[in-house]
Chains A and B, each alone.
Chain A
Amino acid sequence: MTRPRASVLITVAAGLVAVVSLSPVGYLVLREGFSFSLLVHELSSPATLPLLKNTLVLLVTVCVFCLVLGVGLAVLVVRTDLPRRRMWIVLFTMPLAVPGFVSSYTWVAASFRFFPDSTALSSVGGATLVLGLGLFPYVFLPTVAALREVDAAQEEVARSLGRSSMRAFLTVTVPQLRVAVSAGTLIIALHVLAEFGGLQLLSYQTLTTAIVQRIKVLGAPESARALSIVLVAASILLLFTERLMRGRRGRTRIGRGVTRVPVAWRLGRARTAWIAVATTVSVLALGVPAYVSATGIVSAIVRPELSDGIDWSTLTQAAATSTKLAVAAGIAATLVALPVSWLTSRHPGAFSTLTERAVWIAHSLPGVVLALALVYLAVHWFHPLYQTSTMLVVAYVIMFLPLAVAAQHVGLRAATREYDDMAHSLGHGPLRTFGRVTLPLAFPGIAAGALFVLLDVEKELTTTLLMEPTGTVTLTTALWATTNGEALDYTAAAPYGVALILIGILPAYLLARRTLRVLR
């Protein structure tokens, strides 16, 4: 059977998306002021090596932490008789609603309140814990979905051939999690590479914190841009590694039928202990931000003279702006991602792979670098768009596009071409096939992509600071204005932090609910 060629329109659109996604990288290299010798100078600077080391160490520790936590909790929820599984899935998804800099801010504030002379948080361990607790859902959610797709029959066959239950799980089921786990880990790794606000509050220096520091405080943008190229190289390496980890083998199973649920492992007497583990994770990931925010709000209300109380008009204005921007970017990213994900899922090949990987690179750049690139491009070529919400949405789309592409890819994979063929053979025309077969099957993935983008946009800080229209505020920039990363007292920031979390809960819940469906 020969493969149908991709339509020219889709190919061109996908190529265009890739080019636009790469434009910030182009800016880094092509901008006047960059030279190869500058790059060498930066690389050989004694400051660079420790930064590289710090970045690498944190990358590994956070990824390992999230892998253990994400896969472990997914197995606990899906494969054991842990009670209240739906509640746990929702709770383990909710960290997505907490922006990284809010969680580290609240952790630091809590540490100051309860252990004033402890510096334990300002360490690799502290940074790993705080970042990891916010990022593990990116592994947890796809793993839950993947675990449920595995048919019990496969493990049963393995067991009938004499393997133990655990060995059957490890050798038959775990390898099938590869795609889900590696995609989630990639997202986490790129988030770690680009993280700024959270790490600065924890005094942990990485390439990105140094880049942002050089741009925002020292005013050394050339040096920052050169370091950013190192970051781009790191992300290309990661993208390549993930490609290898994921493996190539596809899986086709037309008879979707009913996948049977494997027998749940009995936790027995360890049940209480496992409930305690799950509770601890939730308390650390959600309880700390919630507690510090709540007490912050209470003290803002009780002692308004110390924090100027709550500025309701700014708060509601900022919440409206944040929501509007997030929704606009979620929709825009979904549309822009479609040609790319369509191409990668329906027409795999060198071109579609390159296109898809290209889209990821911008995701690893610190927001401030992306923003500088777009400021430059806008000032020089698109001046009417400069400092408008439209330009800001374009920036968000470039940043978070890969989240949409990845989720859509999963959705479109569920709607394999075999279904099209079957629909055709039953007399459906191509139009009806798309509308009644492909779209409904792919929709959950497409919607999830939009939600992931929406959540990340709502939480975004650094790009927004540089690109928002003069005079507007979002929840993140309003929160940042109360502190600029300076104050460790959370009172003034709390209302914005709480609003951010509250707005994030709905999309995070929708994402969890999608996963709940597979539990049945």
Chain B
Amino acid sequence: MTTRTNRGGSPVRRAVAVGAAVAAIAALASCSAESSDDNGASGSKATTLTVYAGQHEETVKALADQFTAKTGVKLVIRAGEDAELVNQIIEEGDSSPADLYLSEEPGPIGQLDAKGLLSTVEASTLTQVDANLVPGTKNWVPYAARARVMFYNPTLISADELPDSILDLADSRWKGKFAYAPSGAFAGTVSYLISTIGEDDTLNWLKAIKDNGVNEQKNGKVRDTVEAGQHAFGLSNHYYWWILAGQKGGEDKLTSKVHFMDHPDAGSLVLASGAGILRSSKHQAEGQQFLSWLASADGGQKVVAADEDAQFPVGTGVNSQVGLPPISDLHPPKADQGVFANLTKAKDLIVQSGIA
């Protein structure tokens, strides 16, 4: 008799489960229904482009809004970090929903390029921007740039005491003095170093950096900790400092300063943010239209120049409106932006050194 006790309970359990399941499925369906209506909301044949963007979300939003206002083409943005989005596009393959990719760094978009996933950019688009930053393959167009710099705290160190080259940081006399972050630009720096001083020396340099410097994980945190006086100086990207200045209400409100090196060095690289059209996109013409607008002086470049995120505009003759020096005043080493696409070895060395 005892063996029967349990069996009969199941119809009710099932009934309860079915009822609740229906409720849950209804809830789920209501969630996904509204998310999949990105096309044809207005009824007309207005095109919507899906943009995957590793670039700052605010900057991309500003660009998208201006472009939509001008052309009526809508952009939906999927923001994230360069490496994860590029990996996602590769994983998605031909069925990728992405039409365009807007990178933060040259390396990751270069990887898409190297995998043959990008369409060639129209020549008339490429001629609108700084020729030094256009990749040899011509499959993506630079639309903004960031410079590698040092932030320093003048209460702890003066500008002329700063190292002449970031290679000097391997020297133990800098131990505990500086901060760094294993960011995308840091990986770019490493791939540049591999191409100039070779793998072995690069690895030794990385190991010394790990020993001598403080890993603050994020460039923004490098800035904030230098500003707070926790470190004398730090390696970072220029714009972080201008963002903070904007938030604090002026450059004079900050204790820390920015140091651009006055000679070519791995520490004065200029890295381009690139835009490209996915080969798998069904909207090639609209994609080209966007890139052309993005590179134009009175289109996308105007937006970049005025953007509070303070990246360098790269359109010929366009200068920053937020207090940056002209990009032509910088002293980056000569390097094709394609160099940064060779990240595999760089990653390997960064991992081997124990930095990330």
Contact = CB atoms under 8 A, between A and B. Distances in A.
Given A46-B352, A217-B187, A306-B249, A485 B2 contact: no
A379 B93 contact: yes
Given A469-B35, A470-B76, A470-B77, A486 B240 contact: yes
Contacts of B78: 470-471
Interface string A1-42: 110111101100000000000000000000000000000000
Contacts of B57: 481
B354 A50 contact: yes
Contacts of B36: 388, 469
Contacts of B299: none
Interface in A109-160: 112, 116-117, 119
A395 B238 CA distance: 38
Given A45-B351, A219-B108, A389 B35 contact: yes
B212 interface: no
Contact of B224 (A223, A433, A487): A487
Contact of B219 (A7, A223, A387, A486): A486
A210 B184 CA distance: 14
Given A390-B28, A471-B77, A486-B240, A379 B229 contact: no
Given A210-B356, A216-B81, A429-B8, A331 B27 contact: yes
B24 A335 contact: yes
Contacts of A429: 8
Interface stretch (A92-100, A168-176, A417-425): A417-425
Contacts, number: 217
A414 interface: no
A459 B240 CA distance: 28
A509 interface: no
A483 B218 CA distance: 11
A45 to B, nearest CB: 6
Q: Is the interface of B mostly helix, strand, loop or mixed?
A: helix
Contacts of B215: 203, 205
Contact of B353 (A47, A387, A424): A47
Contacts of A324: 27, 30-31
Contacts of A45: 351-352
Contacts of B9: 420, 430-431, 433-434, 438
Contacts of B353: 47
B183 interface: yes
A465 B80 contact: yes
A328 B12 contact: no
B218 A200 contact: yes
B119 interface: no
B201 interface: no
A127 to B, nearest CB: 13
A435 interface: yes
Contacts of B24: 328, 331-332, 335
B20 A213 contact: no
Contacts of B225: 119
How many residues of B sit at the interface, in one of the four size bands?
Answer: 35 or more
Looking at chain A, what size class is its interface with the partner chain?
35 or more
A393 B221 contact: no
Q: Which 9 A-B pairs have the closest CB atoms?
A: A486-B220, A219-B83, A430-B8, A389-B31, A469-B35, A47-B354, A116-B228, A4-B6, A470-B78
- The DSSP consensus for interface residues of chain A is helix
A280 B122 CA distance: 64
B42 interface: no
B230 A117 contact: yes
B173 to A, nearest CB: 21
B160 interface: no
A286 interface: no
Contacts of B228: 112, 116-117
Interface in A467-520: 469-472, 481, 483-489, 491
A440 to B, nearest CB: 13
Contacts of B87: 215, 219, 221, 372
B44 interface: no
Contacts of B16: 439
A89 interface: no
B187 A388 contact: no
B65 interface: no
A335 B83 contact: no
A203 B221 contact: yes
Contact of A488 (B10, B13, B93, B221): B221
A215 B90 CA distance: 13
Nearest to B14: A9
A430 B86 CA distance: 56
Nearest to A485: B218
A448 interface: no
B114 interface: no
B247 A466 contact: no
Contact of A383 (B88, B95, B248, B347): B95
A274 B217 CA distance: 39
A438 B10 CA distance: 12
A481 to B, nearest CB: 5
B63 to A, nearest CB: 16
Contact of A217 (B32, B38, B352, B356): B356
Interface string A314-335: 0000000000110110011011
B182 interface: yes
B43 interface: no
A4 B2 contact: yes
Interface in B208-233: 215-221, 224-225, 228-230
Interface string A283-303: 000000000000000000000
B254 interface: no
Contacts of A335: 17, 20-21, 24
A27 to B, nearest CB: 11
25 contacts: A4-B3, A4-B4, A5-B3, A7-B7, A47-B354, A203-B215, A217-B81, A217-B82, A218-B351, A218-B356, A219-B82, A307-B247, A332-B24, A335-B24, A375-B91, A420-B5, A429-B8, A433-B9, A434-B9, A435-B12, A469-B32, A471-B76, A471-B77, A484-B218, A486-B240
A472 B35 contact: yes
Contacts of A386: 92, 97
Given A328-B31, A430-B5, A481-B57, A218 B182 contact: yes
A9 to B, nearest CB: 7
B243 to A, nearest CB: 8
A88 B78 CA distance: 43
B84 interface: yes
B40 interface: no
A264 interface: no
A50 B355 CA distance: 11
User: Which of B217, B225, B246, B249 has the most chain A CB atoms inside 10 A of its CB?
Assistant: B217
Contacts of A216: 80-81, 83-84
Contacts of B83: 215-219
A243 interface: no
B220 A487 contact: yes
A484 B79 CA distance: 11
